[in-house]
Amino acid sequence: MSVAGKSLAAAAVGLAAGAFVVVRRAKAHPSGTAAGDRWLTVTINRAPQDVQADKLPAPLHEYGDRVETRVRPAPGDRGTELAVRLRQAAPDVAYSAPARLAGVDPRQDLRRALRDAKALLEAGEVLQPDTPPTTHDTPGGKLVGLLSRRADGEGVL
């Protein structure tokens, strides 16, 4: 097989793998569950009696009645599970991949508020990365900056 043939075969395998992942992810989400109906949950390293739904830290408290809150002991006696979700779900297009990439998914701000609330409950402060992380503008530094900005929206890459 020639080099061009090997490249085409590798591209075809990659395309097939990508299609398999897309189909599998589509089947993983039940059809009756909208993305906005899902709970966003964190485990907090505090006793359940230390976390009260009516006395949450400022990032979540600012949401007021726009969110539902659930507090319960975490499995395995590992602290407290704090879950939130928006009371009014946005249209499904607001939760799409392009919306997430554009930073307009309403869950991104809620996820950030939940993550900040976890930090405040556990450590008393929200740690921020150093800015600027480097003074040398290298390709690697640009990649790290891009990934850091992307992770800031949801806490994940």
The encoded tokens of residue 72 equal: 């319960």
91 secondary structure, DSSP code: P
* The three-state (H, E, C) secondary structure of 10-70, written as one string: HHHHHHHHHHHHHHHHHHHCCCCCCHHHCCEEEEECCCHHHCCHHHCCHHHHCCHHHEEEE
What is the pLDDT tens value at each position of the chain, 157 positions in all? 777 777 777 777 878 777 777 667 666 655 445 556 789 999 999 999 999 888 889 988 998 889 999 999 999 999 999 999 988 877 777 777 777 777 777 788 888 899 999 999 999 998 877 776 667 778 888 887 777 777 766 666 6
pTM of the model: 0.64
